[in-house]
Structure 1
Amino acid sequence: NGFGGKLDDGESFRECAIRELYEESGLQGNPEDLECVAAFDFQFPFDESLTHVSYVYFLRTFTGTVEETDEMEPHWLEPNQIPYEHMWDGDRRWLPMLLEGKKLKGPIVFGRDNNMVDKMDLTT
């Protein structure tokens, strides 16, 4: 999975993305340089406590060196090396579309097991 996490009090989504990037990789960036490429409404009808909105950003300009952290051992991959078979069900469905340059928004509804996607209604 990519870098990410929950908002701290008083933090914007962009500020959160930059903070999480640093905490999980050692890389630094500016919130203004983030490109919002997706807005998802993750719905878990069988466990509403898991339901949340999530934004996906691309950052093409950053500084620092990738470092292993307590949360992650990040490394670069070529697009054809991405291990989709090890990703969450929803992620392996939408990430290829983002990498093709599409911007997405909409609901992703999970089934009874809270792992497999039951329905996606994404628009570009």
Structure 2
Amino acid sequence: MIFVEMLVYVVRDGKVLLIRKKRGLGAGFYNGIGGKVEEGEDVVTAAIRECEEEVGIRPRDLRWSGLLEFWNYEDGKVESIHFVHIFLASEFEGEPRETDEALPVWFSISEVPYDEMWEDDRLWLPRVLNGGAVYGRFEFVKWKLVKSEVYELRPLK
């Protein structure tokens, strides 16, 4: 199966808002706010909707910061492919609140809990949190990382 998804990282005053995911793939891990793009949505609309659903905020200044590919293999076959657009935001309406899906937690950028996140996050997220944009391709076997490529993107001139 192929999925188009997005993650939003809200960064303000040297801190990043992460969620502790309560259910689904990655439950128990910290991650950005996000999920799947629904039929008829573009990635920006989906990112705003997911922020509203998962933590009750509406980002106002989404900035595209990269694209990640996640390939998961099981029994030697591709089980799923996830194309994930990454966004940063610094401004939002509302106050982050806990929902059935997620517990929002602010972390200092220097204290992001990478040991409680997906294995690949430490390879690309620091670049994004420092203002960069990335392309990454990650291969997993039963959701254990086996191969990774990460490239910093440069603006077009």
In the superposition, the TM-score normalised over structure 2's length comes to: 0.70
**Structure 1 residue runs of 4 or more that deviate by more than 4 Å after TM superposition:** none
For the aligned residues, what is the CA RMSD? 1.6
Which of residues 22, 36, 48 in structure 1 aligns to 2:52?
Answer: 22
The more displaced of 81-90 and 92-101 is: 92-101
**Quick one: distance in 2 between partners of 1:17 and 1:48?**
26
Tell me, yes or no, if structure 1 residue 72 matches structure 2 residue 107: no
Instruction: Give the 3 Å change call, closer, same or farther, for CA 9–35 of structure 1 in structure 2.
Output: same
Which of residues 107, 114, 123 in structure 1 aligns to 2:143?
Answer: 114
**Quick one: distance in 2 between partners of 1:56 and 1:117?**
22
Structure 1 counterpart SS, 2:79: helix
After TM superposition, the structure 1 = structure 2 runs for residues 3-42 of structure 1, keeping only pairs within 5 Å, are 3-30=33-60, 33-42=61-70
Structure 1 counterpart SS, 2:46: helix
* Contact 1:109-1:120 at 8 Å conserved across structures: no
Which of residues 109, 131, 136 in structure 2 aligns to 1:101?
Answer: 131
Name stretches of at least 5 consecutive residues in structure 2 with no aligned partner: 1-30
Tell me, yes or no, if structure 1 residue 92 matches structure 2 residue 122: yes
Name stretches of at least 5 consecutive residues in structure 1 with no aligned partner: none
Structure 2 counterpart SS, 1:85: helix
Residues paired across the two proteins, number? 121
Tell me how far 1:50 sits from its aligned partner: 2.0
Higher strand share: 2
* Contact 2:66-2:85 at 8 Å conserved across structures: yes
Instruction: Give the 3 Å change call, closer, same or farther, for CA 62–91 of structure 1 in structure 2.
Output: same
After TM superposition, the structure 1 = structure 2 runs for residues 53-72 of structure 1, keeping only pairs within 5 Å, are 53-72=83-102
Tell me, yes or no, if structure 1 residue 81 matches structure 2 residue 111: yes
Tell me how far 1:93 sits from its aligned partner: 1.6
**Quick one: distance in 2 between partners of 1:116 and 1:93?**
11
In the superposition, the TM-score normalised over structure 1's length comes to: 0.87
Q: Deviations over 1:58-97 (max 9, x none)?
A: 0111110111100011021111221111111011221111
